[in-house]
Chain A
Amino acid sequence: MSGPIEPLLAVKGLSSGYGPVTILREIDIEAAPGSVTALVGANGAGKTTLMKTIAGLIPAWTGEIRFDGQDITRAATHHRVDQGIVLVPEGRMVFALLSVEQNLRLGAIAPRARKNVSERLEDTFRRFPRLHERKGQLAGSMSGGEQQMLAIGRGLMAKPRIILLDEPTLGLAPIMVKQVFAVIEDLRKDGYTILLSEQNSRLALEIADYGYILENGRVQLSGPGPELVDMPDVRRLYLGR
């Protein structure tokens, strides 16, 4: 996918971590516009840290993050959201004490997203009818799967140019996992650019245009998603077969 197309997101030589602990070591990844890019790897490989660093919740130690050609390595999180880099975080992080509708409307707080909020709210309700049924309810009272839909819907309200979907199926029942992947397919069809981090490596690589396999904070392998799935080493080491 990279090559002639200019990547929307380009991470080069990125290192970061928590306190004295280094998690990411010299990471290079790219995401082409309109594509699904998957980050897979075991627990602790650094997927969530990478997502948080791209979103600006954790500072980058070295390297750079470019979005649409601009260097955003030092930009504040809310400025990145305003540029269209929207994280749907691991563990959903919905506001339990706000209603579903308030959660969604708050998703459109970035200045770039403040126009036509009601129309986008309608779009989001059309995509997730369950949220419409529950719009007056406190977000904390919903099931895990519903909260995941809310977290994605809240992200869509920000008019994302790239969606960072961090572990969207973590802790969900198998039927909800299927639904989440169906949503990802829909979003791709609608032209969204998605960076997806998943423990469910096979499912993620199968739908990904391009995939990166992370191990101990480094990119171990990369390539078009379906090709990675077919590599014998990948199957043996990462897909459990």
Chain B
Amino acid sequence: MSAQLLFAALVAGSLYALVALGLNLVYGTLRLLNIAHGDLVMIGAYVSFWMLSLFGLPPVLSIFVAAALCGGFGWVIYVGMFRKLLATPALAQRLEANSLILFYGVSVILQNCVALAFTSTARGYQYLNEVHKFAGIAASGNRLMLFGVALALCLGMLLFLRFHLFGWSLRAVIERRDAAAVVGVDVDRVQMVTICIGFAIAGVAGVLVSMTEQITPFMGFPFTIAAFVVIVLGGLGNIFAGIVAGFALGFIETFGVALTSATYRSILIYGLFVGVLLLRPQGLFGKAIKIR
């Protein structure tokens, strides 16, 4: 029983960590509040569904299609909307607040375009749903794959940020854009690449979700909320803490629901959100850094 719950919590946690990772990267480097992030998850889910239905392409390969499509969308958004705004200091200052409204528009457009094209009927498919039994756990293949891919991407990103020069320049831009430019970092390029990576990660998360749940054009919003809860828990722009917080949310949700009932799920998540904002607005793991 409890091993089973533990597995469920890990699966949920890895998905939250992955979805929030993309949001956190985009917020950290560009200071954009991407309220359409969950809708990119939805796009990824539809890519997976149609690739399998139309071309028989399995989700394990659709991952790359969804990453390319959503990453490309990130590029279009950056080049088309944000590059000029970010380059002008006066506009960039207001952009953080304005981005919320801009992305709300993007969110509505994405949801309704998909609803128009594919109707709002819930859809689903069967993939890797044979059950594996080990160590007292019954785990479906698709959940194991979800966990494996999400964990690998999160760890891969952490290693990249820790050991790669581009990863350091990304962290430099998160910490201080002006100082990154002083050192010689091409800030514009870092921002463009980061928004592509962030959006691509959301698309991949969508593929993973679609293997285990039914999908609709309006499935994205709960993911947006969950991702915001996670990055507020971890501290905005703090990538490592965000991943830890993703797993924390998975555990709190899974065990909380098991101890109470499914009707308390939203109360748990929103309660946690409000509680953290009231008691520790810098995030559970955030600490005030003194810069001398």
Contacts and interface: CB of A to CB of B under 8 A. Distances in A.
Interface string B255-277: 00000000000000000000000
B183 interface: yes
A78 B165 contact: no
Contact of A95 (B165, B171, B181, B188): B171
Contacts of A55: 182
Nearest to A80: B184
Interface residues of A, number: 34
A95 B184 contact: no
Given A95-B176, A97-B171, A97-B175, A106 B183 contact: yes
A87 B181 CA distance: 10
B175 A109 contact: no
A82 interface: yes
A19 interface: yes
B171 A93 contact: no
A107 B180 CA distance: 9
B175 A57 contact: no
A113 B179 contact: no
B292 interface: yes
B183 A96 contact: no
A32 interface: no
Interface string B157-183: 000000001001101100110110111
A140 to B, nearest CB: 5
B179 to A, nearest CB: 4
A78 B185 contact: yes
Given A78-B185, A81-B184, A109-B165, A97 B178 contact: no
Given A106-B169, A109-B165, A144-B292, A57 B184 contact: no
B90 interface: yes
B54 interface: no
Nearest to B167: A102
A154 B188 CA distance: 21
Contacts of A56: 181
Contacts of A109: 165, 169, 183-185
B187 interface: yes
B116 interface: no
A81 B186 CA distance: 10
B182 A57 contact: yes
A57 B169 CA distance: 17
A63 B181 CA distance: 23
A238 B70 CA distance: 60
Nearest to B188: A76
B278 interface: no
Closest 9 pairs (CB-CB, A-B): A81-B184, A93-B179, A110-B184, A77-B181, A144-B292, A78-B186, A78-B184, A106-B168, A96-B291
Interface of A: 19, 55-57, 76-78, 81-82, 86-87, 89, 92-98, 102, 105-107, 109-110, 113, 140, 142-144, 147, 154, 158, 171
28 contacts: A55-B182, A56-B181, A57-B178, A76-B186, A78-B181, A78-B184, A78-B187, A81-B184, A89-B179, A89-B182, A92-B292, A93-B179, A96-B175, A96-B289, A98-B171, A105-B165, A105-B168, A106-B165, A106-B172, A106-B185, A107-B183, A109-B165, A110-B184, A142-B292, A147-B292, A158-B183, A158-B184, A171-B292
Interface of B: 90, 165, 168-169, 171-172, 175-176, 178-179, 181-188, 289-292
